[in-house]
Amino acid sequence: MSELSQTCEDIARIAKSMFDRGLTPGSTGNLSVKLSDGSFLITPSGSSMGSLEPSKISHLSPTLELLDGDPPTKEIPLHMAFYETRPSAKAVVHLHSTYATLLSMLPDIDPDNVLPPMTPYAIMLLGKVKLLPFFLPGDNGMGQSVRDLNGEHAAVILANHGPVVSGRSLQKAAYAYEELEETAKLAVLARGLNPRLLTQRQVDLIERKYPVDK
């Protein structure tokens, strides 16, 4: 099977798994992959992550011309901003999961690092997760806000919207996304309970031993 065909199958399989586990409802969310020839696969506009047809996934040229499949999601600028600023990025996952989206709405979170240091795994897979402002869906300002970060963040959360996570592969980006959502769930459930967080020394040790790829 060609890289193109295999990646289309992988996108449909991973998207369905995430949909089935409630990580993105209805026709929300989008996934993309950068292929070895510099072209891109990205989920089509208005599609449900639960019922993607591999043959209809949008195949875009390196200059973003539609080569095959259905018309792509309107969130292309958001995805491209990660590919342009993070050399290691080969995939981007953007979903509307419940706890991470809720966390973005709370008044006392740190906009420079939305996830509190609760477990080592979010730090290892994501680094610091930046909160970005609210934008209308499809607004080119989302992409520009990611570019303004100069590739310093593997993941962001769009306020009142949802997370966007990049990775070296689609599977790694999906794993990192799931870790983000689970950490956000812990953070929301533990509010008011005064949980014992990792110390700054522990965080520093994790970051040194497991730096996030740029």
pLDDT of 162-173, one tens digit each? 999 999 999 999
pTM over 0.85: yes
141: helix, strand or coil: helix
121 annotated active-site: yes
From the candidates 9, 83, 121, 182, which is the catalytic residue?
121
Q: What pLDDT does residue 33 have? A: 98
Active-site option among 75, 178, 179, 181: 75
The H-or-E segment that residue 178 falls in is helix 170-189
What is the reported pLDDT for 20? 97
d(C-alpha 93, C-alpha 201), whole Å: 31
The two tokens of residue 69 are 């499949």
Q: Looking at residue 214, what is its pLDDT?
A: 72
Pairing of strands 40-42, 58-60: antiparallel
pLDDT at position 1 is 79
Place of tokens 């300002």: 141
pLDDT reported for residue 213 = 80
Q: What is the DSSP letter of 56?
A: G
Summarised one tens digit per residue, pLDDT across range 65-78 is 999 999 999 999 99
DSSP 54: G
Active site residue 75: yes
Regions of the chain with pLDDT less than 50: none
Q: Which of 20, 127, 137 is nearest to 12 (CA)?
A: 20
The one-character DSSP state at 95 is -
